[in-house]
Structure formats: C-alpha cells, structure tokens
Amino acid sequence: MKLVDVDETNEATFLRCLHDEEPDDPRVIALRRRWFVANRDKGLRAKVLVLDTGEVAALCQYMPVEHTHIEGKDLLAILCMWVHGYDHHIGNRQGLGYGRLMLEAIEKDARESGFAGVVTWGMDFPYWNPISFYEHMGYARADQAGQAVLAWKPIRDDAEKPRWLSEGSPPEGSPGKVSVVVFVNGWCTGGCSQCVTAREAVEGLDDDVDYREIDTSDPETLRKWGISDGLYVNGKPHRPYEPPCTSEVLRSDLLELAAET
C-alpha cells in the first residue's frame, strides 16, 4: 500500500469522501472542488491510501493552520483523516493500522517541513472520529467546544497551543419567520452536503423561513463568524450530534417550528 497525492485518477473518490458506491451530487462536488482548487496553492496536502489491489481505502487532508478554522501559529492542521468504515463497497477497513500509517506520515511531513507541531480534532464520543484515537497516539487536548475537541502534538519547544476560533452568534432572521443559517466552507464533504440539504428543504417556504447562506471559504468571513460549517435554526445548531438529516426531515422540522411562531 502507499499514500499518494490526489490526482486525476483518484480525485473523484477523494472529493466524494470514499463514497464510490453513490452517484455524484454535482452541487456537493462543485462546493468541494471549489475549496480544493482554491487551497492547493496555500499548502494543502490532499492524499489517499491506495492498497496493492488498487482500491482506495483511506484519505487525509491537512494544511498550515493559518488557512483553517483553527486558531494557531506555525502548525500543520489535520482537517480530515478517514479510513473506509462501511460494510458496503470495499468493506470496513478500520482497525488495520491505516490511521496510524497516515498520522505518522503527516507528522513526518511536519517535521521535515519545519512546522512547530501538528494539530487535529475529533469528537468526545467513540462512534465517529473519536478524539481517543489521537490521544492514544500521543496527542494532548488543547481546546473543546461542546463535544468537538482540539488536540495537538508539539514538535518544537517554541510551539504555541492552538484553540478553536471564537464563535460568533449567527445573524437573526426576519420577525415572524424561522431563521435558517447555513455556514459552508468546502473542506468537508459533509458540510457541503448539509448546505445542499438545507437548500432543498427551504424551497417554497419563503413565507415561513428566512434563509441565509454564509460562504466561509473567504478567510475574513470565517474569522468574523468563527464558524466553518454548520446549520443553525433560530440561532442554535440543528441536530448537532445526530446523523445528517434528509431535506424532508429538515423541512418537517422547519414547518413545525413555523406553526409555533
């Protein structure tokens, strides 16, 4: 197996987050590709793990922290590291050491490139991107927002601890309407999908819903709000720790809230 750069032979798999069994949603891929292209000249490393069979079993993307939603200095930030965990398609490949292999490669890159350390993130629960994996690999907690945990591993003695950006309050909606605000950046396929889901859910609900979409791929906009990706309904995260909801479920939630307004 080998960890290789994303190129024309594997870009589609990378952009759809290993979901090769599903047809592309061009709206999601367009948001994802826009971010990918815009950040290639900003130090983005995008890689996939290719098995000897030619199958892509994992991916990772990381870049200088200054271009991310994490506040830090001279660190290499891991935005995403994912090993295929589904039973379908090529099957579950987690627990085989692929995550360790990628993380060690990223740390080697950080040392050779002169970064002061590596920063990553995970969740404070075991069933998706658990922070416990990074802690097992020697990372220490640096900051926490809800169940999202920032962890880091310094390399140089002068490394400075990172933190989450300070999160601002989403803009308020119009009186008498349900406020829906979507922040979308492009680094996360899930965030892009969430944006498209929200667009579908609010179609035809102009009388009941005030919908806003905020593009945080712009660095100044990202710093202003301190939110990279997210769906906010009436100023609060919508189902923040649940599996992604469909446009039909979101639409039903919005209509229920509208009836109460």
Both 113 and 231 in one domain: the answer is no
* Dist CA 214 CA 32 (whole Å): 15
- Can you give the CATH number for the domain in which 76 is found? 3.40.630.30
DSSP 171: P
Are 160 and 73 a contacting pair, CB within 8 Å? yes
Both 95 and 219 in one domain: the answer is no
Both 23 and 141 in one domain: the answer is yes
Residue 171 placed within a domain: no
Q: Taking 90 as the threshold, does the pLDDT of residue 22 lie above it? A: no
Q: What is the mean pLDDT of the chain?
A: 95
pLDDT tens-place string over residues 57-79: 999 999 999 999 999 999 999 99
- Can you give the CATH number for the domain in which 193 is found? 3.40.30.10
The two tokens of residue 255 are 């209509």
Both 135 and 228 in one domain: the answer is no
What pLDDT does 76 receive? 98
Side-chain-facing half-sphere of 245: CA atoms under 13 Å:
20
What residues contact residue 170 under an 8 Å CB cut-off, 6+ apart?
Answer: 179, 181, 183, 225, 227, 232, 235
pLDDT tens-place string over residues 79-116: 999 999 888 888 889 999 999 999 999 999 999 999 99
Both 209 and 141 in one domain: the answer is no
Residue 95 placed within a domain: yes
Q: Which of 140, 164, 188 is the last residue of a domain?
A: 164
* Dist CA 174 CA 180 (whole Å): 10
The two tokens of residue 149 are 């945990």
The confidence band for 23, taking pLDDT boundaries of 50, 70 and 90, is confident
Q: Which amino acid is at 107?
A: E
* Dist CA 250 CA 230 (whole Å): 14
The confidence band for 261, taking pLDDT boundaries of 50, 70 and 90, is confident
Q: Could you tell me the end-to-end alpha-carbon distance of the chain, in angstroms, rounded to an integer?
A: 56
* Dist CA 89 CA 106 (whole Å): 27
Q: Decide the pairing of beta strands 75-83 and 117-123.
A: parallel
* Dist CA 62 CA 64 (whole Å): 7
Q: Which of 164, 193, 223 is the last residue of a domain?
A: 164
Residue 97 placed within a domain: yes
Mean pLDDT of 228-257: 94
Both 183 and 157 in one domain: the answer is no
DSSP 3-state assignment of 104?
Answer: helix
The confidence band for 244, taking pLDDT boundaries of 50, 70 and 90, is confident
The DSSP string of 188-228 is: -HHHHHHHHHHHHHTTT-TTTEEEEEEETTSHHHHHHH--S
* Dist CA 123 CA 40 (whole Å): 27
Domain that holds residue 230: 178-260
Q: Which amino acid is at 140?
A: A
The confidence band for 20, taking pLDDT boundaries of 50, 70 and 90, is confident
Percent of the chain surpassing pLDDT 90 = 87
Both 14 and 67 in one domain: the answer is yes
Q: Is the pTM of this model over 0.85?
A: yes
